[in-house]
Amino acid sequence: MVRALTAAAALLLATSAVAQSQPAPAPSPEAETLGRRVADTGTLAALLPLVVAKDTEEMLAEHPELDAAGKAKLRAIAADTAKTAVDRMLGVVGHQYALRLSVEDLKALVAFNQSAAAKASRAAEPQVIVATMQTIDGFDLKKEAWAAYCRSPGITCPAPAK
């Protein structure tokens, strides 16, 4: 799941970098505050706890040598580390929103994110994404696209390397 989120973020960054050719002026303090509120109530903020929990459990499973006290300490350190990282990420997201959106748009997004519909959507997102990832588990775009290309009429592909 982390790879999927990383890939999505990289794609978004690449497309926004192309779209933005000139540096934006520094956002106002109001825009920064609103941008952070949008980030704190957005999709990424809803998904990060799921990613943190998954990574923490995987890390604990990788260290069966730890006793209960060691596992508790590692879990606490992971939570503190994640809290710092999540705060930093959401700060960057908020700043990027403040750079790219008007104060009016940010206010509208904050209002929407506080609505019952948005809250229900965010509550459902982690389960929706988990179910989606389970459905497409193992999908490899490069492998699938190459195989489809090789099945095209008139195309001869080399045998796979062994």
Q: Which amino acid is at 140?
A: D
pTM here? Answer: 0.69
Does residue 2 have a pLDDT over 80?
no
Say if CB 2 and CB 47 are below 8 A apart: no
Place of tokens 């998954």: 54
pLDDT in tens, 57-89: 999 999 999 999 999 999 999 999 999 999 999
What residues contact 140, with CB distance under 8 A and at least 6 apart?
A: none
Read off the amino acid at residue 41: T
pLDDT score recorded for residue 82? 97
Tens digits of per-residue pLDDT, 92-130? 999 999 999 999 999 999 999 999 999 999 889 888 988
Average pLDDT, the chain: 88
Confidence of residue 5 (pLDDT cuts 50, 70, 90): low
Q: What is the pLDDT of residue 138?
A: 85
The b-or-e profile of 2-22 (16+ CB within 10 A means b, else e) is eeeeeeeeeeeeeeeeeeeee
pLDDT at residue 126, as a whole number: 83
Report the pLDDT value the prediction gives residue 109, as an integer from 0 to 100.
97
Can you list the alpha helix ranges (DSSP code H) found in 20-102? 29-40, 43-61, 68-100
Lowest mean pLDDT among 2-6, 66-70, 148-152: 2-6
| Distance in angstroms between the alpha carbons of the first and the last residue of the chain | 29
